[in-house]
Amino acid sequence: MRYPAPQINTPSRVVVAAFLAVIAAGTALLSLPVAVAEGREASWVSALFTATSAVCVTGLAVHDTAAHWTVFGEVVILTLIQVGGFGIMSLASILALIVSGKLGLRARLNAQAETKTLGPGDVRQVIAGVAKVTLTVEAVTAVVLTARFVIGYGEPLGRAAYYGVFHAVSAFTNAGFALWPDSMMRFVGDVWICLPVVLAVVAGGLGFPVYAVLRKDWRRPSRWSLHAKMTLGMTAVLLFGGALIIMILEWNNPETFGPLAPGLRILAGFFHSAMTRSGGLNSVDTSQMHENSWLVSDVLMFIGAGSASTGGGIKVTTFALLGYVILAELRGEPDVTAGRRRISEQLQRQALTIALVSVAAVVVGTLVMMMLTPFALDRVLFEVVSAFGTVGLSTGITADVGAAGHLVLTTLMFIGRLGPVTLGAALALHVQTRRFRYPEERPLVG
């Protein structure tokens, strides 16, 4: 008896359908009159844009969050942010389990070693672990921010707690939403605000598989999985390297770092570098940064954060794997190795596919936005990469790209949030065996 072949991409479809349902619900709630401040109105496009930006933890905004939305609207946005951030970490980690269950025994054991799970059925354990990490980091960050708002700025405890919770959730989920029209610019010199936000953003960008490894063997780095080593290593390199380059480029810019004391310039540099990991908040006016700083930010935003994290981009492990592929080819080595481990050809192709498809999405999105808006290439490219990387930083053109432009950015946010995750899972699951191989031929390259 013949049975129909299973639909191996069903898990990816479930993830996409779930996020579409949450976005639809958020759009409906934000379209209600009770969600919009008196004297303002929200079109379905702006409601859809805001809901997508919140669920996809991006942070791009058509309207000033505090001025345009009521407390009800802000709570809806906060809820969408939390659902989106928690959901992407949980679903991405669960997809790793599903992938491990669909592969062969050796590949399954390797995948389980990377995620430190007991088996494909440990869904409850994964969700509980993600919840613990999420609530712990958000609670600690909220307490520190609340105390600072009360002590340093004289805010009433209730309002301070509301600000603390909102921005703690926004930071850990890498959402990029703030309750001030200048984002975090008024706190550019406040270490007790900027540093907790940076740490929360970095923590959210590591991903649950890394926390699972650290929980068991944090004292013995030699026993960490390759995934954890690559994620932590690349995060450190991009964070400190990006901060150094941004500081060099913006050190004397009178519109950004120039007026700050040297110590605060360093703080602002680290803040901006961390936000390009997918954080989306800004402590200086991004629209006044030099064009070369925008280009550096584009690269950092495109790479993004860790796999199964709240951050976006193609992910640091994808970028690192491509680097190892290039290094092996330059050395003429037959195998691609990293940390005394051989990288499978299948994984190399997956990384290459994700990177090139992402490049295509950015190029097409930029071309369409150039056709729809009057803005220059550098600003449009920054906006497109920020949307695709679910970052939320902007050069100030988000509100002025028109309804068609908002729909394009909405599509990019959705693709950028779920594209790398679902594409990676679909490629891993869609493994086929062939009983024959074609003759080999070597066309010229280069």
Q: Return the pLDDT at 39.
A: 82
Question: How far from chain centre, in Å, is Cα 443?
Answer: 38
Residue 262 is given by DSSP the state H
Q: Which two tokens mark 256?
A: 């950004």
For the chain, the distance separating the N- and C-terminal CA atoms, rounded to the nearest angstrom, is: 51
pLDDT given for residue 418 in this prediction: 80
Say what the pLDDT of residue 422 is. 66
3-state secondary structure of 341: strand
CB 81 within 8 A of CB 61: no
C-alpha dist (Å) from residue 430 to 91, 99, 361, 417, 438:
18, 10, 22, 21, 20
Structure tokens given for 3: 């049975």
Q: How many residues does the chain have?
A: 446
Q: State residue 136's pLDDT score.
A: 94
pLDDT-derived band at 119 (thresholds 50, 70, 90) equals very low
What does the pLDDT read at residue 14?
Answer: 72
What integer pLDDT is reported at residue 434 of this predicted model?
62
Q: Is the pLDDT of residue 112 over 80?
A: no
Q: How far apart are CA 157 and CA 436, in angstroms?
A: 70
Tell me the pLDDT tens digit for each residue of 400-415: 999 999 999 999 999 8
Q: By mean pLDDT, which of 82-91, 102-111, 214-223, 272-281 is the weakest?
A: 102-111
Cα–Cα distances in angstroms (integers) from residue 208 to residues 133, 138, 342, 396, 416, in the given order: 8, 15, 24, 33, 19
What is the band of 42 on the pLDDT scale with cuts at 50, 70, 90? confident
Taking alpha carbons only, the member of 308, 348, 358, 312 closest to residue 328 is: 348
Task: Name the average pLDDT for the chain.
Answer: 86
Note the pLDDT tens digit of each residue in 229-240: 999 999 999 999
Best CA proximity match to 88, nearest among 406, 426, 414: 414
In a 10 Å sphere around its CB, with 0-12 CB exposed, 13-18 middle and 19+ buried, how is residue 333 labelled? exposed
Q: What percent of the chain has pLDDT over 70?
A: 85
- Token pair recorded at residue 368: 């369409």
Which amino acid appears at position 305 of this protein? Answer: A
Q: How confident is the model at residue 376 (pLDDT cuts 50, 70, 90)?
A: very high
- Give per-residue pLDDT as tens, 45-98: 999 999 999 999 999 999 999 899 999 999 999 999 998 888 777 766 666 555
- Percent of the chain at pLDDT > 90 equals 63
Per-residue pLDDT, 120? 45
Top-ranked range on mean pLDDT: pick from 72-76, 354-358, 421-425: 72-76
Which tokens in the block code for residue 330? 């330059």
Question: SS3 of 36, please?
Answer: strand
C-alpha distances in Å from residue 209, one per residue of 159, 200, 361, 380, 426: 35, 17, 27, 34, 19
- Binning pLDDT at 50, 70 and 90, where does residue 436 land? low
59: three-class secondary structure by DSSP: coil
Say if residue 111's pLDDT is above 90: no
What does residue 274 show for φ and ψ, rounded to 5 degrees? -65, -35
Could you tell me which of 22, 114, 112 has the C-alpha nearest to residue 76?
22
pLDDT classification of 217: cutoffs 50, 70, 90: confident
**pLDDT tens, position by position, 128-174:** 788 888 999 999 999 999 999 999 999 999 999 999 999 999 999 99
Q: Hey, CA dihedral for 130, 274, 387, 364, is it positive or negative?
A: negative
Q: Name the band, by pLDDT with cuts 50, 70 and 90, for residue 392.
A: very high
The residue written with tokens 């702006």 in the block is 46
